[in-house]
């Protein structure tokens, strides 16, 4: 039986062993109380039993129902169209770099219409800076694919 890499990592973390999944800390994942997942064969009975033993309730969404988790579906679509679709990815390290840069932009620099054109995580010095004559700076992560403009701090 092939139990898989993820199963082994979660099992070791539940046993109290120090586990590293790239830059992700398994301890942070294990503070979750629920795991909402689709009907992927990855989530076997052994996987579900392991998480249940760790106090995590597994909730399967109904089959053929992509609208059950629309926020996650929309985020995945946004990442694919605005970021990943523009690159040829040659390895996991490069993929993680792209996702880290895009998520930093998405949460801290990209305005969202559903939030009345506000940022999810505004910077601490956010305010009306239109009255100043400071130089406007441009941050261009991912080779200029994304651009964010702001005034230089006074």
Higher per-residue confidence, 94 vs 14: 94
The alpha carbon of 79 is separated from its chain's Cα centroid by a whole number of angstroms, namely 9
- Average pLDDT (12-33) is 58
Rg value, the chain, Cα: 20
Partnered with residue 151 across adjacent β-strands are: 136
- Check residue 114 and give its pLDDT: 74
- Check residue 140 and give its pLDDT: 82
Which tokens hold the place of 9?
Answer: 């990592």
pLDDT at residue 65 is higher than 80: no
- Check residue 123 and give its pLDDT: 72
Mean pLDDT, the chain, whole residue set: 76
* Residue ranges in 23-130 assigned as alpha helix (H): 26-29, 45-53, 70-82, 92-108
- Please state whether the predicted TM-score (pTM) of the whole model is above 0.75: no
Q: Kind and range of the H or E element at 59? A: strand 57-60
- Average pLDDT (69-98) is 86
The rounded percent of the chain whose pLDDT value lies above 90 is 1
- Check residue 23 and give its pLDDT: 47
pLDDT at residue 27 is higher than 60: no
């Amino acid at each position: 039986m092939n139990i898989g890499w993820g199963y082994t990592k979660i099992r070791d973390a539940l046993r109290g062993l120090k586990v590293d999944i790239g830059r992700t800390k398994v301890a942070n994942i294990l503070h979750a109380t629920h795991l909402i997942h689709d009907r992927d064969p990855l989530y076997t009975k052994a996987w579900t039993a392991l998480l249940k033993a760790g106090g995590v309730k597994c909730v399967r969404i109904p089959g053929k129902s992509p609208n059950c988790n629309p926020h996650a579906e929309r985020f995945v679509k946004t990442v694919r169209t605005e970021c990943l679709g523009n690159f040829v990815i040659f390895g996991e390290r490069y993929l993680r770099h792209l996702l880290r840069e895009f998520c930093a932009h998405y949460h801290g620099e990209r305005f969202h219409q559903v939030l009345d054109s506000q940022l999810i995580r505004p910077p601490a010095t956010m305010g009306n800076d239109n009255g100043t004559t400071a130089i406007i700076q441009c941050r261009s992560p991912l080779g200029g694919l994304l651009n964010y403009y702001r005034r230089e701090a006074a």
